[in-house]
Amino acid sequence: MRPKLTLKQIARELDVSISTVSKALRDSAEISEDTKQKVKAFAKLYNYKPNNIALSLKNRKTKTIGLIVPEIVHHFFTTVIRGIEEYANEKGYHVMVCLSNNSFDKEVINMEMLANGSIDGFILSISKETMLKEDYHHINEVINQGMPVVMFDRVVDQIKCDKVVIDDVEGATKAVQHLLDTGCKKVGLITTPDYINVGKLRTQGYTEALNKNRMPIHEKYILKIEDDSNSEELIKEFVKTEDFDGIFAVNEEYAVQAISALRKTEKEIPEDVSVIGFTDGVISKNFIPKLTTVNQPGTEMGRQAAKLIIDKLEKPETEEEEQYQTIEIKTNLVKRESTR
Amino acid sequence: MRPKLTLKQIARELDVSISTVSKALRDSAEISEDTKQKVKAFAKLYNYKPNNIALSLKNRKTKTIGLIVPEIVHHFFTTVIRGIEEYANEKGYHVMVCLSNNSFDKEVINMEMLANGSIDGFILSISKETMLKEDYHHINEVINQGMPVVMFDRVVDQIKCDKVVIDDVEGATKAVQHLLDTGCKKVGLITTPDYINVGKLRTQGYTEALNKNRMPIHEKYILKIEDDSNSEELIKEFVKTEDFDGIFAVNEEYAVQAISALRKTEKEIPEDVSVIGFTDGVISKNFIPKLTTVNQPGTEMGRQAAKLIIDKLEKPETEEEEQYQTIEIKTNLVKRESTR
DNA sequence: TTGTAAGCGTTATCAG
DNA sequence: CTGATAACGCTTACAA
């Protein structure tokens, strides 16, 4: 076991000063070829690598991005993380991942822990609880300290920062339009409560599509699920109440549960009822029938979020025009076997 | 925008020395109550938080763990990450996540990037390519530098370090035994090549179960899939070759693809063929029929891995008995609808 | 061409 | 009780 080599040790071994070593390694013109060769050879031989922490302290930048996600055991977030990690790595950045577990308190604690110099900027998708409370002081505080923040997927207007979202409304509209185009007359919606903004937007897309086609909108065609743990029963009840020939669900799980419930009422998919989900994850691809879905390009979203942050971090400080942008990632409909 | 407060600034404001401020904040007995009150009040008012990077440099420890996983868009790894993050956070540690994307080179680069002082220890599951190459120099190098390493799931004997694995052999045996107990006479296995050690171990479990029950083992009952991208066709062919009444698959995807293929040959699940998968993920839970599986307690695995690392990091250096342990996490069979 | 010294933000030691 | 100083590992004016 040999501990890490430092400039000081090299200097001592080679009987030169620390700064000479430093300069030699950085190929400074100040240093003679001879010395450079000697130092470089030694450094290479003993595999010298500058200490990141020392560099961070000196440069006042850590080259790491803090990422806070509500939940990691979730296909969509996972693809976003991959995108972020991928882009960040290409640019020489690390990613520190924290999970809020959809808890407001954990989100606050995580942000405080990271904001103390550990990272240069945040990428985050806020927790359910935070959206409910509408308390964003922790995020605004960080922004006020001058730390760049990028929000993705679950964003809120009350926070001024760069954002990356998908076109939830449009995606939902496309889905419902497809159902109508293929002959559905009575389309049900399975969604989340409105405080989850993506649920709200997708609901809006559903409504818009129906409006555009001059179809009536009934409250009873819409199921809003508060608590995922009893979604199965709720959905089972819901599909019995009306004679739907189309269902649009705002996530994979609801879509699959709807199919399962419909099957129990002797309906065939897609012959009797067409079903479309949102998020093109492993379930959609592996289910029988394979699900028609609106895909969410999570990896692309992650890459864009990482790009926004890193661009801001590397832009010379002088440009003080605080212009925030919101990037909208396009979804598209993946037609498979659960629709006609 | 107000940048972060430092000790120096507090000292200047309050007209005392930096060290007085430092001591006051840490409640040192050396400082008068008066001064302490004054300093603390000021610090609180302006929300002073010590700079992590400076602390890291001083203490020569970062309180962060480096995590390298082959793939993040994968339910099992995701649960492990959750476990690691959870435990690490409880202990005041951060987690830096890197993806190797199953590439040897990326694994090496990531390790080098992190080993330069950014982290105190590694948790890792090695990439496919690394297992194929059997080149572990990068990992051994880090270990030789005195940095603790914990491997999980995909582990190899050639590396001396703490490990966390699941009882793959036993889990597989239990699965196959269940098939036999419920009347299966001809059990097929869908697995990975032997260089993926978990695949190998599960294959071994299959073999052991058959042996114990004095059933013959035929090569043709076993399908080893090299390349996941054409697994569907291979499985389709495979289930046609023999008249299986039971299938054991080493992951969810293969299990589901087997069911799909069997259905096309007019077989009913589980009436004609029972199917068991490995890894109890979202697919198993949502499929119709719901899959009987061997569950892998990923979160528990992650917690144990994090515990191993942190225990080692916080143990006083003196104890130089290099004893490595391997923790085996127990799986259990989740019986659902795809078996009789 | 090389070396000295200051500084990044902390803490610890020691002197006043 | 308070403060100067050194140190963690590195970079960079500035001096020699």
Task: Give, for all 340 residues of chain A, the pLDDT tens digit.
Answer: 667 899 999 999 999 999 999 999 999 999 999 999 999 999 999 999 999 999 999 999 999 999 999 999 999 999 999 999 999 999 999 999 999 999 999 999 999 999 999 999 999 999 999 999 999 999 999 999 889 999 999 999 999 999 999 999 999 999 999 999 999 999 999 999 999 888 999 999 999 999 999 999 999 999 999 988 999 999 999 999 999 999 999 999 999 999 999 999 999 999 999 999 999 999 999 999 999 999 999 999 999 999 999 999 998 665 556 789 999 999 999 999 999 9
Report which residue is nearest nucleotide C12 when distances run from CA to C1'.
B19
Chain A contact for B209, CB < 8 A? no
Across the interface, whether the CB atoms of B145 and A95 are under 8 A apart is answered no
Cis amide linkage into residue A50, ω under 30° from 0? no
Q: At residue B305, does pLDDT exceed 80?
A: yes
How far is B66 from B44, CA to CA, in rounded Å?
A: 32
Query: Residue B107: pLDDT above 80?
Result: yes
CB within 8 Å: A53 and B56? yes
Q: How far is CA B72 from CA A163, A253, A257, B115, B305, in A?
A: 23, 20, 26, 21, 17
For B60-86, write each residue's pLDDT tens digit.
Answer: 999 999 999 999 999 999 999 999 999
Q: Which of the nucleotides lies closest to B7 (Cα–C1')? A: C9
Q: What is the pLDDT of residue A318?
A: 55
Mean pLDDT of B247-259: 95
Residues with CB under 7 A from strand C: A 15-20, 23, 29-35, 54, 57-58, 60; B 4, 6-8, 18-19, 22, 25-26, 30, 48-51, 53-55, 57-58
What is the rounded average pLDDT of the residues B201-212? 96
Give how far A86 is from chain B: nearest CA, Å.
8
**pLDDT, tens digit (0-9, with 9 covering 90-100), for B224-233:** 999 889 999 9
Nucleotide lying nearest to A29, CA to C1' measure = C1
pLDDT in the model for residue B197: 86
**Short-list A43, A262, A282, A201, CA closest to B74:** A282
Chain A interface includes B115 (CB < 8 A): yes
pLDDT at position A192: 95
Contact between B179 and B249 under an 8 Å Cβ cutoff? The reply is no
| Site from A94, A260, A321 to mutate, B interface, most B CB atoms within 10 angstroms | A94
Gap between the Cα atoms of A88 and B29, Å rounded: 46
User: Residues 68-107, chain A: which have Cβ within 8 Å of B?
Assistant: 72-75, 78-79, 81-82, 85-86, 89, 94-99
CATH architecture of B168-296: 3-Layer(aba) Sandwich (3.40)
A53/B contact by beta carbon, under 8 A: yes
Q: Which residues of A299-331 are buried (b: 16+ CB within 10 A; e: fewer)?
A: bbbbbbbbbbbbebbeeeeeeeeeeeeebebeb
Select the residue of A51, A112, A263 nearest B117 (Cβ to Cβ).
A51
Whether A56-165+298-329 and A168-296 share one fold: the answer is yes
Q: Which one, of A179, A171, A176, A188, lies nearest residue A339 by Cα?
A: A179
Which contacts of B209-214 are long-range, i.e. CB under 8 A and separated by 24 or more positions? B209/B172, B209/B173, B209/B175, B209/B176, B209/B177, B209/B180, B210/B176, B212/B173, B212/B177, B213/B177, B213/B180
Distance from C-alpha of B317 to C-alpha of A63, rounded to nearest angstrom:
30
State the nearest Cα–Cα gap between B252 and chain A, in angstroms: 10
Judge whether A51 is closer than 8 Å to chain B, CB to CB. yes
Cβ of residue B14 lies below 7 Å from strand D:
no
Cis peptide before B270 (omega within 30 of 0): yes
Round to a whole number and report the distance in Å from the CA of B20 to the C1' of D1. 10
CB contact under 8 A, B64 and A95: no
Question: Does B253 sit within 8 Å of A286, measured CB to CB?
Answer: yes
CA-based nearest residue in chain A for residue B99: A85
Of the pLDDT bands very low, low, confident and very high (cuts 50, 70, 90), residue B318 is low
**Tell me: the pLDDT tens digits for B134-162?**
999 999 999 998 899 999 999 999 999 99
Chain A contact present for B41, CB below 8 A: no
Which of B79, B99, B283 is the closest to A73 by Cβ? B79
Q: Cα–Cα distances in Å, from A89 out to A66, A98, A121, A221, B7?
A: 13, 18, 15, 46, 33
- pLDDT tens column, B169-195: 999 999 999 999 999 999 999 999 999
Q: Are strands B94-99 and A64-69 parallel, antiparallel or unpaired?
A: unpaired
Give the integer Cα–Cα distance in Å for A254 and A279: 11
Q: Best of A75, A82, A116, A251 to disrupt the B interface by mutation (most B CBs within 10 Å)?
A: A116
Q: Does B253 touch chain A (CB under 8 A)?
A: yes
Q: Which nucleotide is nearest to B31 (CA to C1')?
A: D1
Nearest Cα of chain A lies from the Cα of B162 at a distance, in angstroms, of: 17
- Taking an 8 Å cut-off on Cβ atoms, the answer to whether A117 and B4 are in contact is yes
Rounded Cα–Cα distance for residues A76 and A282 (Å): 10
Q: Whole-angstrom Cα distance, residue A331 to residue A334?
A: 9
Chain A residues with CB under 8 Å of B75 CB are 73, 75, 282
**What does the pLDDT look like over B32-51, one tens digit per residue?**
999 999 999 999 999 999 99
Task: Please give the residue of chain B at the shortest CA–CA distance from A142.
Answer: B1
Give the span between the Cα atoms of A242 and A185, in whole angstroms: 12
The token pair that represents B260 in the structure block: 């799909």
Q: Is the CB of A7 under 7 A from strand D?
A: yes
Tell me the CATH architecture of domain A56-165+298-329: 3-Layer(aba) Sandwich (3.40)
Tell me the percentage of chain B whose pLDDT exceeds 70: 98
Nearest to B309 by CA among B39, B62, B26, B107: B62
User: Under a CB-based contact definition with an 8 Å cutoff, are residues B124 and B70 in contact?
Assistant: no
D chain positions with any atom within 7 Å of a protein CB:
1-5, 7-14
CB A248, CB A187: distance < 8 Å = yes
| Nearest-CB residue to A99 (from B82, B283, B286) | B82
Q: Which residues of A touch B110 (CB under 8 A)?
A: 89
Coil vs helix vs strand at B14: helix
Using a CB–CB cutoff of 8 Å, tell me whether A220 touches chain B. no
Q: From the CA of B40, how many Å to the C1' of D2?
A: 17
Question: Which residues of B are less than 8 Å from A96 in CB distance?
Answer: 64, 94-97
- Per-residue pLDDT band at B322 (split at 50, 70, 90): confident
CA-CA-CA-CA dihedral for A191, A196, A198, A199, to nearest 10 = 10
Q: Which long-range contacts (CB under 8 A, 24 or more apart) does A23-30 make?
A: A25/A50
Backbone angles phi, psi at A106, to 5 degrees: -65, -35
Q: Which tokens is B51 given?
A: 């700079």
Cβ contacts of A145 within 8 Å, gap of 6 or more: A115, B1, B2, B3, B4
Q: Give yes or no for a contact between A50 and A6, defined as CB atoms under 8 angstroms apart.
A: no
What is the edge-to-edge ordering of all strands in the sheet holding A246-249?
A222-224, A187-191, A246-249, A274-278, A292-295, A332-334
Domain positions in chain B: 7-50, 56-165+298-329, 168-296
Q: In this complex, do A2 and B89 lie within 8 Å of one another by their Cβ atoms?
A: no
Distance of CA A95 to the CA centre of its chain: 13
DSSP assignment of B189-242, as one string?
A: EEE--TTSHHHHHHHHHHHHHHHHTT----GGGEEE-S-GGGHHHHHHHHHHHS
